[in-house]
Amino acid sequence: MKKGISTNPKVLLCTTYRRFPRDYTTIANAPRRVSPGLRFIKQNVPEVEILEYPRWNQYAAKLREGWDVVGFSFYQNEIDQIGKMAAEARSQGVRELWAGNYGALDYSIPSLVDRVFIGPAEDDVAQVFGYRVRQEDIQHPVMMAQYSVIPGIRTLTLGLLYTAHGCPYSCSFCQTPVFDSNRFTINLESIERVLRYYKKHGVAYLFPMDEIFGIYPKFTDELTRMFARYKFRWWAQSRASLFMHNLDTWHERGLRIPSVGVESMIQGSLDGINKRQKTDEILEFCRRTREKKGMFRISYSMIGHENLNAEQTLEDASLLRKADFDAHAVSVITPFPKTPLWNKLSASNAIFDRKFSHYKLRHLVWNHPHISPAEMRYLLIYIESRLNSTFKFIHKGISRFLWGGLRQDGPVIIWRSLLKGPVAAAFVDDRKQVFF
């Protein structure tokens, strides 16, 4: 820390601000209204105060309370707003600024703030207050998200979890291996305490946000047994091979929404991004999960593969459509700082668009050999509309999730998804900060 700052400083950690009341980033119809990273820090280092997605005037008013340190947790596309927040903090006399979360990997950040945190920061922040938090002692916080089938109407509350850090793979576009290079799991006792809280508040569905669920077999075995013991149904994101390996057990223990990083249905494209995945694995995943009752399968795919022109990109989307997932999330390949993709493209000066707000997976920011940014935009919108129609979403949702769920779980699915879910969602305040 800078000379002169007390050993018991006043520390405020915040996310970016909202420009208007509903200005939340939405991920799969779930607005991001809480900050998992900040919740983890506050749960483990109670001396800090956290401020999640405030309006600008709330942020400015909070600054006036006087802080030794203000830290920001943010993503790449939010850096302009963080610059404005940092300037405001400096103008109000804050002596030290911090930066964390994936946005802190950007090369401009060290000149904007005084200290940069890469990866989980519980221990580093605790040391500012004179103590340590060992990895095995990190406590899991409460964090929830409201999910809407129809945008704007709360359908159910998801109990969020983050159970394991890091990934042993090195897909060329992904920042996780560099951001979370220290791989470890969160202790199960603290996860169980959170599960009990969710259960008590009527939460029926969990969403572990781990980038690659199931990468620690023994830990995941104990974790999923726990999910089953509390009768949760859960959503998870992982690789096709891990889902395939565990499908029967995980389905038995409540997995209902598997989300797979498909990326492409063309093998050359998968190899080009170092995905280390075979298209046959995806097809096998689709075949086997189709037979599982009550499962709703989501694909995450990307367009803008270097080896594909517009026509081949459409062909790729058509293969994905035939694979028969129930819903699709599509993004444009984007080079994020410190990834192998960034290193390769910046070495050849191929990144022409450095506007931070364009780094949210919907813009082409580099010179694609065959496709212009305008064409890519058109392809994205066209492919999204071809893969996800409202009719298909409702039809698949009813037939696979509800009808299949009814056959798998019995009438309890009606109670859980149509009655308890919406009622609990209406009463749970997902923004409320709860710490143990």
Q: Using CB under 6 A as the criterion, which residues of the chain lie in contact with ligand SF4 when the complex forms? A: 167, 169-171, 174, 176-177, 211-212, 239, 261
Residues 6+ apart with CB under 8 A from 72: 13, 14, 15, 16, 82, 85, 86, 97, 98, 99, 100, 113
Tokens at 73, concatenated: 């947790």
Q: Cβ closer to ligand SF4: 86 or 105?
A: 105
Q: Supply the minimum distance, in Å, between the C-beta of residue 182 and ligand SF4.
A: 15
CB of residue 262 to ligand SF4, shortest distance in Å: 11
Q: Compute the C-alpha angle 207/415/222, nearest 5°.
A: 35
Backbone angles phi and psi of 96, in degrees to 5? -140, 135
Q: Which tokens belong to 314? A: 């459409």
**Residue 369 CB neighbour total at 10 angstroms:** 9
CA distance 255 to 403: 16
Q: Which amino acid is at 257?
A: I
Nearer to ligand SF4, 34 or 174 (CB): 174
CB of 243 to ligand SF4, least distance (A): 12
Give yes or no for a contact between 246 and 215, defined as CB atoms under 8 angstroms apart. no
SS3 content of the chain, % helix, strand, coil (to 5): 45, 15, 40
Q: How far apart are CA 285 and CA 325, in angstroms?
A: 10
44 vs 301, beta carbon nearer ligand SF4: 301
What is the rounded CA–CA span in Å between residue 216 and residue 231? 22
- In the complex with ligand SF4, the residue whose CB is nearer, 37 or 177, is 177
Please, what is the minimum distance in Å from the beta carbon of residue 272 to ligand SF4? 14
Closest distance of CB 338 from ligand SF4, Å: 13
Q: Which is nearer to ligand SF4, 258 or 373 (CB)?
A: 258
Type of residue numbered 337? P
DSSP code of residue 278: -
Least spacing, CB of residue 171 vs ligand SF4, in Å? 3
Closer residue to ligand SF4, CB minimum distance, 335 or 404: 335
Shortest Å, Cβ 24 to ligand SF4: 24
Beta carbon nearer to ligand SF4, 188 or 209:
209
